[in-house]
Structures are given as structure tokens and as C-alpha cells.
Amino acid sequence: MSVTILAIESSCDETAAAVCRDGAILSNIIASQSVHEKYGGVVPELASRAHMQNIVPVVEEAIKTAGISLPDLNAIAFTQAPGLIGSLLVGTQFAKSLSLSLGVPLIGVHHMQAHVLANLISENRPDFPFLCLTVSGGHTQIVLAKSALALEVIGETIDDAAGEAFDKTAKLLGLPYPGGPLIDQYAQLGDPLKFKFAEPQIQELNFSFSGLKTNILYFLQKEIKSNPDFVAQNLNDICASVQQTIITILLKKLKKAILQTTIREIAIAGGVSANSGLRTALVEFGSKHNCSIYIPDFQYCTDNAGMIAITAYYKFLRNEFCAIDIPIKARLEF
């Protein structure tokens, strides 16, 4: 029996829909929300309103691009958690309504689990077990993937995420939102060793980026006080040095995880996995430490429904469906 699933992702400010058939992604449509740019960050109320405007056309486009019709669907999947409650509610209610109208099962998906399983979309995929460095605006984790649905977080941030450190730095530098990609862009033109920033000393495999953010703030305040044009004159080098520091912190913990687990199948996931500096550094890391490295296509790094669909496919095979009254949650463990 062929299995065709429609998946919906609405955890933050991306409205996305994808169609998966037997583990192959037939369409992956994403509508971004530019309304947040002038506020320097995501405004939850505006995000949920934009989702309501975008969800019908996005789903229609995903169905059309996949070359299927609604009666072909065997299940409806959606992001259950974590995320912004208002945003999650839009996708959840749409998915529940479609599930009821079509008489097909409903599949709730954990957003961060889906990021990890994005590595299973392409033909070049890691073998189990593998380690996944999951880095996004809200999360930084090292995940041990024993199988598609057996994931264990063995290290995570105790405060702020790496993506937040990128975004906060961009804001301090006066860069427009979203600033993370701009730091990556400017970093490619700078000297990553020009400035030194703090590397928090956290036990075991956990991370911390709050101290780094504070260190960057004080550094900029000090330099600007003596030279008001400091940022403009050193923008490329500042971005390169901050990015290098964050990458170094991430890879040191990853190396420690490899030594503890002896696993050398290494994947990366999450929005920050689109960062060119991190991608390059990880490939070099793999060569140096004799590890096989797996990096998702760019379209599956940031929030997208393709990763929700592939996760739902494995849950469908295990008959892991959810009740129509399943609650949504801002936070939820694997």
C-alpha cells in the first residue's frame, strides 16, 4: 500500500506544507513572513494572523505541486510542539479539520525531532546510530538517534541557543532582522581570529551562550566608547570572530560526544545548519576526526514541512496516530 501524507508546519513565522509519498518528498512549500522585519524579531500575534492568511494557499500549492488530490491522502500531519501557541494553533486546527473531513488519521510531530529526521530525506543519509548537532534560534542540542523514532538528547543548552547568540549579535551591530544570515555573509569577508570572545566552560555535553552574548555586548560598548565608528570599520572581522567562536564551542562539544559514544556518523540540523561557516567547519571536522558528515539540503534546514512529513511517515508505519483532541504545547520533550 502506498502512503501519502500532507504535513503542515506553523511553529513560528513560517507557514509550510509538504506532501510525502512512501518517504519521498513530492512538494515542500514555504511562505515567509516579512511583517516582523521592522520589529527586529517575531511578534507572536502578527505571526498567527499571517499563518491564517497563508495556510490555505500554501496547502493548495503543496497539493498541486505534488500532483495529487485530497482523496489521495492517507494521513494529515502537523507540528504539535514546541513553538508559539498562536502559530501552532492555526496549523493544528487546520490539520484537525482536514483529518475529520477526509476521515484519515492525524499525526502530531515534535518540531525538534523533525529537524533531526530531515537528514533522512535525501538518499545520502546517516546509518543508525548517529549523532545530530541540532542548532536553531531556540534550541541547541546533541541528539543520539538510535532509530528514526528513538531519539535521546544527550546535551543541550542550559540557557540561550546558538541561533539566539547570532541574532542578538546582529541586533547589537545594527543589522536588520533576521540578522543571522547577514553575520554569515559578512563573516566570509572577515578575519575569524581578529577578536577573541569568551567560550563558556560548561560541564558534560551541555552548552551555554548567555555569557558569550554578554561578552560581545561589553566588548562592543567598550570599543564604541573610544571609537564611535568601530562597528562600521570592523564589521566583517567582528562577524567572522563571533561566528568562529560559536562554531568552536559547538564542535568542541561534538568532539566530546563522539569520544563518549564512539559514534562517527554525524549529522547536523536546525536553522543554523544553513550557516556556511558551520557547514564548512563540520566537513573539515569530519575529515580530521574520521567521521562521516551529513548535512541536509538548505530547504530542509530552516523551518519547513518536509521534515514534518518524513517524521510523520515513520510514525505512520508504526501506527502512531493521535486523538483529534490532542493538546498543543509551547514546550514538549521528545
Q: Considering the domain boundaries, does residue 322 fall inside one?
A: no
Q: Considering the domain boundaries, does residue 325 fall inside one?
A: no
Q: Considering the domain boundaries, does residue 323 fall inside one?
A: no
Who's near 179: CB < 8 A, 6+ residues apart?
A: 166, 167, 169, 170, 171, 173
Q: Is the pLDDT of residue 276 over 90?
A: yes
The pLDDT value given to residue 41: 72
Q: Considering the domain boundaries, does residue 326 fall inside one?
A: no
Are residues 139 and 230 part of one domain? yes
The pLDDT value given to residue 211: 94
Tell me the three cell numbers of residue 64: 498541486
What's the gap between Cα 12 and its chain centre? 11
Q: Write the CA distances from 302 to 22, 136, 230, integer angstroms.
A: 23, 8, 32
- State the total domains in the chain: 2
Are residues 246 and 145 part of one domain? yes
Residue 329: band (very low, low, confident or very high) from pLDDT cuts 50, 70, 90: confident
What does pTM read for this prediction?
0.94
Q: Length of the chain in residues, anyone?
A: 334
How many whole angstroms separate alpha carbon 11 and alpha carbon 47? 10
Domain of 199: which CATH number?
3.30.420.40
Are residues 280 and 181 part of one domain? yes
Are residues 110 and 232 part of one domain? no
Residue 301: band (very low, low, confident or very high) from pLDDT cuts 50, 70, 90: very high
Residue 334: band (very low, low, confident or very high) from pLDDT cuts 50, 70, 90: low
Nearest Cα residue to 42 out of 51, 34, 30: 34
Tally Cβ neighbours within 10 Å of residue 317: 12
Are residues 282 and 261 part of one domain? yes
Tell me the three cell numbers of residue 230: 568601530
Kindly state the DSSP code that residue 287 receives in the 8-state scheme.
H
How many whole angstroms separate alpha carbon 133 and alpha carbon 269? 6
- For the CA atoms of the chain, what is the radius of gyration? 20
Question: ∠ CA 145-291-288 to the nearest 5 degrees?
Answer: 145
Are residues 253 and 145 part of one domain? yes
How many whole angstroms separate alpha carbon 166 and alpha carbon 11? 20
Q: Considering the domain boundaries, does residue 36 fall inside one?
A: yes
Share of the chain above pLDDT 70, in %: 97
Are residues 183 and 87 part of one domain? no
How many whole angstroms separate alpha carbon 187 and alpha carbon 182? 8
How many whole angstroms separate alpha carbon 48 and alpha carbon 25? 26
Tell me the three cell numbers of residue 195: 577578536
How many whole angstroms separate alpha carbon 211 and alpha carbon 158? 11
Range of the domain at 195: 124-295
Are residues 145 and 249 part of one domain? yes
Q: Considering the domain boundaries, does residue 10 fall inside one?
A: yes
Q: Is the pLDDT of residue 325 over 90?
A: no
